[in-house]
Every structure is written in structure tokens, then in C-alpha cells.
Amino acid sequence: MATQKTPRIDPLTLEVVELIGAVVARYHEEYEEAAAEHALTGAQARLLSLLSMEPLPMRRLAQKLKCEPSNVTGIVDRLETRGLVERRPDPADRRVKLAAATEEGCRVAHGLRDSLNFAREPLAGLSDNERLSLRHLLRRMLEA
């Protein structure tokens, strides 16, 4: 177990991994860029996007963002200061605070989604058939 590292490096797999890395890098780049256009950080944009669908307790936000609840407090604080998010009491449980996007917050979230042109640009060059097989392959990768 000591001498044999990366037993057989299938060159095809290696290249695919590299390509995925490139896609990931590009996706992130464009996401941060789109967020910055709306004066949001990446974390703020992700959180606001979640809230634009439905209000969520802080706890759930932390789970979805895969971080500690204490972290969410700060991000929501900053968004609340800017009037994009508000905290509402949960009628069913007085411990819980529901974070919800304000009307303005929803507008910003939609603008963000629209300017997230990673959708159009790189996918535009693909035919419908190519998109179909891409969908199939990505699904298979993710179900593993």
C-alpha cells in the first residue's frame, strides 16, 4: 500500500476530470461575476437565491449552504441591513426565525438568475441532441 500510488491513471478519465475542473472554475467565475454586478458576494447570492423560492428557518439555510448556523446569522444580517431579506417569527415555533426575501430581494434574485449567462453562452453551441446526451451523462454521474 505504500509503493503503489494512483495505480492506473486512465488518461481519458484524467482528461475528463480536468475538463470538469475547468467547467467548475468557469461556473464559479461567472457566478461571482454575476453576483458582483448586483453588489452581492457569492455567499449572499446563494442565500438570497434560496430565499427567493420560499422563506426558510436559519437552521435550514445552514443545512442547504453546508455551513454552521452561526455563520448564516452574519450573512442574513448583511442582507437585512440592505433591505433584501427580513426575519419573521415562525408562528408554529417561537424559537425559529424565518428568513424571507423582501420584494426588493426577489427582484435582485431574479436579476441574478437572468444575468447568470453560463446557461446560454456555453450551452448555446450545443444541439438539442447534444444537450440531451449531456443531461443523460450528468444525471448518471450524480446518481452514483
User: How many residues bind DNA, per CB under 7 A?
Assistant: 30
Q: Interface with DNA includes 49 (CB under 7 A)? A: no
Q: 3-class DSSP state for residue 45?
A: helix
CB of 93 to DNA, least distance (A): 5
DSSP letter assigned to residue 59: H
Query: Kindly report the CA angle at 58 between 72 and 39, in degrees rounded to 5?
Result: 45
As a whole number of angstroms, the distance between CA 62 and CA 44 comes to 13
Binding residues (CB under 8 A) for a second copy: these are 5-6, 12-17, 19-24, 26-29, 66, 110, 113-114, 118-126, 128, 130-135, 137-144
CB of 38 to a second copy, least distance (A): 15
Helices (H), the chain: 11-37, 42-53, 58-65, 69-81, 103-115, 120-124, 128-143
CB of 76 to DNA, least distance (A): 6
Q: Which residues bind DNA (CB under 7 A)?
A: 41-44, 57-60, 65-78, 87, 90, 93-98
